[in-house]
Amino acid sequence: MSRARADEEEYWHSSKFRAFTFDDEDDELSQLKESKRAVNSLRDIVDDDDDDLERVSWSGEPVGSISWSIKETASSSTSSLEGRDSSLQKGSSSYAAFPKQVSSYSLSSLFKGELYLSLSALSDTGVKNYAPELRRPKAEYKDYSSDWSPKDTVRRMQRGKVCSLERFRSLQDKLVLLDEAVAGHDGNVITAVLIFLKRTLRREILFRELEVRQVALCHLIHFLKETGEQKLLLDLLRLCFFSLSLQLSQYREHLNIQDVEKRREFLKGCIGLPFSAEDTSHIQDHYTLLERQIIIEANDRHLETAGQSEIFRKYPRKASILNMPLVTTLFYSCFYHYTEAEGTFSSPTNLKKTFKIPDKQYVLTALAARAKLRAWDDVDALFTTKNWLGYTKKKAPIGFHRVVEILQRNNAPVQVLQEYVRLVEDVETRLNLATKYKCHDVVIETYRDLKDRIQLTAYKCKVERGSADEEKINSILNNMVRNAY
């Protein structure tokens, strides 16, 4: 009796199965290790040293032969898993059958190393149960690792992949992640990153960093409105309004600085203030313009004092150009430096290119400046264009009716006015302008083209009697009568 108990104790203590523990080993890594140990135990059963022993199946044919493989493939595959496990433990020669596409190989040859089949090449579910995959591709485990950079994380989020953001722990990494999300122009990704930052950063730090990231700030404001987080939204709006007011008041201080050099240095420091991208661009242009004005003012003052320039002798300067608006600076440049090359700071084309002045604004300003100087050739060249065939024509981006008004305001001769009144496309507008500015030739030619005898007869009373205009009207009326018969 005691001997039987001792054998029983030895059996249970020598069991290769482990007792139940509360350790959490149900993760994927433990399952992979268990699968690997199971396959290794199967290799121990089929020892390489037993090659001299011939195994036979129930039908009497050697195991591993071609005929045995064909019969095994056609045999029933519905035997239970427990029967296969027990037969393997007892050294039985009955092995699990493979699908038809690999039926020419036996299970023993697989475990002996004569054949290697990857799990991806086997589509049958039964094979997956008996030959589990021991290792997955590395790409599937990267979601749980720290290999993804902020840029890669944003790209995966844009493709709808689940990514853990908890690995970004430092403030610098979180801000880089936010910048990458903004650069990706994906609102969903930006909002997801902002939710993560809102949860992991203190409010003061988050608000401070969002002040210089206007796109992310707008996304957070919209998100807080949608979720109804009114308290946080009010705190954010209050901070943004206070910060903007502080920046504007600091920028406005340049108006109190009289010394132009100190004002220039102050504006240079204002470029670094946390304004929006558009406002920062305006401040940069302000600083560049003042710097350009300082150079032009120093050079022109020297030319005017030395009397070396004819235009400064004929049209002396009435005021300094310093601290003037951009349009005034452009007018000054078109007035005094219109013919200068583009490479100089005072050139009108240089100003147009540097500050991206629209064509309409440039044409209006240049026309006013050159018309004031009565430089009609420059006015004509301003509107003359040449096509790729070499033909020239006049084209005005502001409309020729406005050109006529500016020319008349600067006391342009009637011949110059008539040339541009003729270019007005709308007939009614053309007649009104011609009548208003007494461009008789244009009125007479327009009524002649319209074949309107009544209007020609009525307009005959408005021209000077015995003048060339009256003779022209009489000639047109006589031709109309002659052609009528």
- The more confident residue out of 20 and 421 is 421
> What does the pLDDT average to over 87-108?
43
- The more confident residue out of 245 and 19 is 245
Residues in a beta bridge with 62 = 56
Residue 12 has pLDDT above 80, yes or no: no
Element (H, E) at 386: strand 384-386
Residues in a beta bridge with 386 = 392
- The more confident residue out of 291 and 121 is 291
Position 32 scores a pLDDT of: 57
Residue 85 has pLDDT above 60, yes or no: no
User: Would you call 393 helix, strand, or coil by DSSP?
Assistant: strand
273 near 266, Cβ under 8 Å? no
Position 245 scores a pLDDT of: 66
Residues in a beta bridge with 394 = 384
Task: Report the C-alpha gap between 153 and 87 in whole angstroms.
Answer: 50
Task: Return the residue matching tokens 């059996």.
Answer: 11
Phi, psi torsion values for 291, nearest 5 degrees: -65, -40
- The more confident residue out of 51 and 204 is 204
Confidence category of residue 293, pLDDT binned at 50, 70, 90: very high
User: Would you call 131 helix, strand, or coil by DSSP?
Assistant: coil
Q: Which of 74-78, 270-274, 376-380 has the lowest mean pLDDT?
A: 74-78
Q: How far is CA 334 from the centre of its chain?
A: 37
Round the average pLDDT of the chain to a whole number and report it. Answer: 76
Residue 347 has pLDDT above 70, yes or no: yes
Task: Report the C-alpha gap between 274 and 401 in whole angstroms.
Answer: 45
- The more confident residue out of 464 and 106 is 464
Task: Return the residue matching tokens 């940069």.
Answer: 284
Task: Report the C-alpha gap between 384 and 191 in whole angstroms.
Answer: 53
State the angle between helix axes of 260-270 and 277-306 in degrees (0 to 180), rounded to the nearest 10: 160
Most confident by average pLDDT, 60-69, 137-146, 241-250: 241-250
- Token couple for 191: 């909002």
Confidence category of residue 216, pLDDT binned at 50, 70, 90: confident
> What does the pLDDT average to over 313-319?
90
Task: Report the C-alpha gap between 115 and 107 in whole angstroms.
Answer: 9
241 near 249, Cβ under 8 Å? no
Q: How far is CA 245 from the centre of its chain?
A: 29
Element (H, E) at 392: strand 392-394
- The more confident residue out of 437 and 389 is 437
Most confident by average pLDDT, 25-39, 123-137, 224-238, 337-351: 337-351
Residue 210 has pLDDT above 70, yes or no: yes
> What does the pLDDT average to over 439-450?
90
**pLDDT tens digits, 33-59:** 666 565 555 545 444 444 444 454 545
**pLDDT tens digits, 375-393:** 999 999 999 888 777 788 8
Q: Which of 106-115, 290-299, 364-373, 458-467 has the lowest mean pLDDT?
A: 106-115
Task: Report the C-alpha gap between 462 and 390 in whole angstroms.
Answer: 42
Confidence category of residue 336, pLDDT binned at 50, 70, 90: very high
Position 271 scores a pLDDT of: 84
